[in-house]
């Protein structure tokens, strides 16, 4: 049977496929519209599979309730695509409602008639880039969330969520902004893993010896340098960006807030 331009347009509108792909599918299906859709789904899945070794090094972050997700894409062009942004919002809402706490369980969450993983794969086939659910975090309330735009023409690409006790959401949102900007890795020095601390101590000691410092003061030098390390990597010991005369720990104490944990997601990381 003859394949008309109207047939091709109808299939393109239904699937988002390119004109030539839609026409080939209709020809292969001998004009059967449903069969053509199935052909496009199969070829689309094959294209997604062939992109599996590529990096989804761009994308965005989205939030719903006390859930934060990172949806990866290959380029910032796709990161600001309306369908991609809408899908990220839908995924965040569905994952939050389902109470999923990691990527594997989030991918299995239902999004209408399909799973989150299937919805992402379908959009990947349509757009022509590797897309993936890169990270998921779900906390107990109360939790403050801050989403940061690296550029005004892009969606948020850095997201921070802070689980806390005491205080109010607006103040803790300011702490989330601190985390977004200064990138601490742990809440306190007690949270730093022993192996990380031992490595820092070893490097500080070797550096002091290489600099020719007297043996009797190397211990004090090492402790001083570890103090500097803690000021960089732990939230409580960082200088506050809103009041550089105080540490974040001091501000939290003044406001009666305890930070239980935090997560920082960054597109491409």
- For the chain, the structural domain boundaries read 5-50, 52-138
Higher pLDDT: 44 or 181? It is 181
Please state which architecture CATH assigns to domain 52-138.
2-Layer Sandwich (3.30)
Please state which architecture CATH assigns to domain 5-50.
Orthogonal Bundle (1.10)
Share of the chain above pLDDT 90, in %: 71
Where do we find the tokens 């939790």? 143
Ranking 151-160, 179-188, 202-211 by mean pLDDT, the lowest is 202-211
Q: What is the pLDDT of residue 269?
A: 76
User: Would the pLDDT of 15 be above 80?
Assistant: no
- Residue 104, CB-side half-sphere exposure with 13 Å CA sphere: 0
Predicted TM-score of the model (pTM): 0.79
Beta strands 58-64 and 114-115 are unpaired
Start-to-end CA span in the chain (Å): 51
User: Would the pLDDT of 47 be above 70?
Assistant: no
User: Would the pLDDT of 28 be above 90?
Assistant: no
Q: Nearest CA to 116 among 139, 140, 100, 128?
A: 100
For 77-123, the pLDDT digits (tens) are 999 999 999 999 999 999 999 999 999 999 999 999 999 999 999 99
């Amino acid at each position: 049977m003859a394949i008309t331009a109207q047939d091709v347009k109808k299939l393109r509108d239904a699937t988002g496929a390119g004109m030539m792909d839609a026409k080939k599918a209709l020809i292969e299906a001998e004009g059967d519209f449903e069969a053509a859709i199935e052909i496009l789904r199969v070829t689309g899945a094959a294209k997604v599979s062939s992109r599996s070794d590529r990096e989804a090094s761009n994308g965005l972050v989205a939030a719903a309730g006390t859930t934060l997700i990172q949806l990866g894409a290959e380029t910032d062009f796709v990161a600001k695509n309306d369908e991609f942004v809408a899908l990220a919002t839908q995924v965040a809402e569905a994952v939050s409602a389902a109470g999923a706490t990691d990527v594997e369980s989030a991918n299995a969450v239902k999004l209408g008639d399909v799973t989150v993983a299937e919805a992402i794969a379908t959009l990947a086939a349509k757009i022509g880039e590797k897309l993936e659910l890169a990270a998921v975090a779900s906390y107990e309330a109360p939790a403050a969330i801050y989403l940061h735009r690296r550029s005004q023409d892009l969606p948020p690409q850095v997201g921070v969520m802070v689980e806390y006790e005491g205080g109010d959401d607006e103040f803790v949102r300011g702490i989330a902004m601190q985390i977004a900007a200064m990138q601490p890795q742990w809440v306190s020095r007690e949270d730093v893993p022993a192996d990380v601390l031992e490595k820092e101590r070893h490097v500080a000691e070797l550096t002091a010896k290489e600099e020719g410092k007297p043996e009797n003061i190397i211990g004090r030098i090492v402790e001083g340098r570890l103090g500097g390390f803690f000021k960089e990597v732990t939230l409580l010991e960082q200088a506050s960006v809103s009041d550089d005369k105080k540490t974040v720990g001091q501000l939290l104490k003044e406001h009666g807030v305890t930070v239980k944990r935090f997560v920082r997601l960054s597109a491409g990381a």
